[in-house]
Structure 1
Amino acid sequence: MAHPVRSRLGVLLGSTTPPEQIGAQAHAAESAGYGELWIPEDYFFLGGVAGAALALGSTARIPVGIGVVSSVVRHPALLAMEIGTLARAYPGRLIPGIGHGVPGWTAQMGLTQRSPMSALRETLTGVRELLSGKTVDEDGRFATFRQIAITHPVPDRVPLYTGVLGDKGLELTGRLADGLLVSALAPVEYVRAAREKLDAAAKAAGREQRPGISVLAAANITRDPDRIAAARAALRPVLAFYLAATGPTALFGAVGVNEQLADMLARGGAETVAAEMPEEWLDVFGIVGDQDSARARIGEYLDAGADSVVLATVVPDGAEETLAATGELTAEFTH
């Protein structure tokens, strides 16, 4: 059976999207030709599972990802039940993403774990076994299962993605998961290295299928040549906010700027980063400018090993123009 041709460009709905608008925006993304749609689960904005249900119910073909639920917020059995419900109702269209969760958010709920990697591993394996119809009876470091089986397992394999950054998470993903959702602000260099690490881990585990990679990209694109400078200026404070909120990480270490970022943060917050970050950081950590700039940058991510590039419209005033401008490119990037 031949796989349908679909674009390698996707869209991430912003976490501030009003729930009542999810259906209409999902339908618009599918109509524009985007190949996948991701719904965030950022605490305490949108519920990713409920949001995915709204998006799936408003569309006919587009795959919908959840990017990403924290492994410590739901027991794996509850998560498997929710995933199974949607996966059976919309066969072949759900891509659940599971990660550690933002530490500040999970701490607010008293859910900080001593071993986040154990929680992620037990969640991935528990959800996979339950979705396949197995009865699970285990005592883990994170989760306990007492003869648990879900009533509605899923006949076909549901692709489980992770949202991780470090080498341990990438190794776990290569061994156990079907793919990786790369955090926004990832340089091409990080994606290239992640591709190599995932492939090596999958090979060592004896897996035949290569894990997929979907890259979230902070984007602000315009079709108006006279608006390029304004688009770049509008993206700068947004990128600075996320750089300051994230701090030095493997993402930024891939291009050797962690020390420079740490120095800025030691002297101030996002405002200092916005004022002092080099102009080229806009192009390293985002997709910004005109359609030609977007086309080139998307191509670089795909050449580095990404299977898809998912646009995050992080500048509210530029969201509509960004989606329209990149929507005109969807047919150029297909698989």
Structure 2
Amino acid sequence: MSELTFSIRIGGQGVMPVVEKALLAEEAGFDQVWTGNDLFGEPGLVTLAAIALRTTRIRFGSGVIDPVSLNPAQIAMFASGLQEISGDRFLLGLGAGSDVFFSWAGITPPKPVVRTREAVLAIRELTHGRTPAGVPGTGEHWTPNARLRYHRPVPIYIGAMGPKMLDLTGRIADGALPLCLPPRHVYGVVEQLRAGAAKTGRTIDDLDVAACVWASISDDRDEARTLMARHIALYSGSLSTDALAANGLDPQEFARTQKLMLEGREDDAVASVTDSMLQLGIVGGAGDVIEQCAQLIDAGVRHISFGPPMGPDPTSAVRLIGSTVLPALRRLTGKAHP
């Protein structure tokens, strides 16, 4: 049984609050911390540089950078620099980005899978000191002069959801950042990644697959449940009905909750979230979270990534996970955290 990895996905208003959360995650014993860099959103690159300089052990990643608003050559430059100042602790998370956000800036990008594939392959060449020119899959616009003056290799993860992106991730990435709603959705994700990996002579063991889950943890189980219910109500209209049905959930329940939200009846919407709907995330006290995570680990998951809402008090939730949940789960492999 291989060693487990635990990461946390953080965000916030401004740079320093996120940096403080990263420091808390390092102190709590997490292995990785991820933060966003959405166009018109958080200034992730600035935050990542600050995290690199303030932390000492934890690995940190961009969850995720898009290769549209930033050219892949720029991303390769920034990634190499973040590797230097952190002692090679940086993890480059890439994603297709949001076409909605791009439209706000008047940008019309190539298809999501195409732009992601070209970026990953080009960045890998550039961060290894090579030119992407003439390399299959990187696009035809590169010239032989396209080389970085300073380069440093970096692991490349892809934020993947749909089958085509998961297939691509299995074929070319070092890691995967799939949003697993509900957590058991990771089993289907792994099968799709495994099929993609096989196409290029790889195996699933060649990837770090992070089961990115929603989590709400508190000593007050009812409080944790209510917070998760509110989070689910907020996103009830944004979830794939196909994915819900494939995981044994009733899309009609989510449609009813979304209708209440659209009518401005938020409290009623939260109250309409059923126990079945709560399966979208990991929720409860420390013992509940340990039990739910242990089920994933028993089924073969080796990387669990905890994400919002985290808990009524996110700081307390991170500390509770670090002091209680992570040690209990690591004992499943007989390996203590270094």
Same fold (TM over 0.5): yes
Q: 1:255 aligns with which of 229, 247, 270?
A: 247
Q: Give 2:74's aligned residue.
A: 78
Q: Is the 8 A contact 1:53 1:86 kept in 2?
A: yes
Q: Is the 8 A contact 1:221 1:289 kept in 2?
A: yes
Q: Is the 8 A contact 1:165 1:251 kept in 2?
A: no
1:133 aligns with 2:125: no
Q: 1:319 aligns with which of 289, 314, 318?
A: 314
Q: Give 1:101's aligned residue.
A: 97
1:113 aligns with 2:109: yes
CA shift digits 1:248-277 (9 cap, x unpaired)? 256434314474267437845464753433
1:182 aligns with 2:181: no
Task: Tell me by how many angstroms 1:101 deviates.
Answer: 1.5
Alignment of 1:189-268 (within 5 A): 189-207=184-202, 209-223=205-219, 227-244=220-237, 246-248=238-240, 251-257=243-249, 259-260=251-252, 263-264=255-256, 267=259
Q: Which amino acid aligns with 1:238?
A: H
Task: Tell me by how many angstroms 1:160 deviates.
Answer: 0.4
Task: Tell me by how many angstroms 1:19 deviates.
Answer: 0.9
Q: 1-side partners of 2:79 and 2:242: how far apart?
A: 30
Give secondary structure in 2 for the equivalent of 1:77: helix
1:161 aligns with 2:154: no
Task: Tell me by how many angstroms 1:100 deviates.
Answer: 1.3
Task: Tell me by how many angstroms 1:105 deviates.
Answer: 1.9
Q: Give 2:44's aligned residue.
A: 48
CA pair 103-307 structure 1, distance change in 2 beyond 3 A: farther
Q: Which amino acid aligns with 1:89?
A: I
Q: 2-side partners of 1:113 and 1:305: how far apart?
A: 37
Task: Tell me by how many angstroms 1:59 deviates.
Answer: 0.9
Task: Tell me by how many angstroms 1:125 deviates.
Answer: 0.6
Unaligned runs of 5+ in 1: none
Task: Tell me by how many angstroms 1:192 deviates.
Answer: 0.6
Q: Give 2:282's aligned residue.
A: 287
Q: Percent identity?
A: 25
TM-score when normalising by structure 2: 0.85
Q: Is the 8 A contact 1:195 1:304 kept in 2?
A: no
246-255 or 321-330, larger mean C-alpha shift: 246-255
CA shift digits 1:27-79 (9 cap, x unpaired)? 22111111111112234331222211111211111110110112322111111
CA pair 249-120 structure 1, distance change in 2 beyond 3 A: farther
TM-score when normalising by structure 1: 0.86
Q: Number of paired residues? A: 322
CA pair 6-55 structure 1, distance change in 2 beyond 3 A: farther
Q: Is the 8 A contact 1:41 1:66 kept in 2?
A: yes
Give secondary structure in 2 for the equivalent of 1:38: strand
Q: 2-side partners of 1:90 and 1:17: how far apart?
A: 24
Q: Is the 8 A contact 1:179 1:212 kept in 2?
A: yes
Give secondary structure in 2 for the equivalent of 1:243: coil
Q: Is the 8 A contact 1:35 1:63 kept in 2?
A: yes
CA shift digits 1:140-177 (9 cap, x unpaired)? 897832331111111xx421001111111111001110
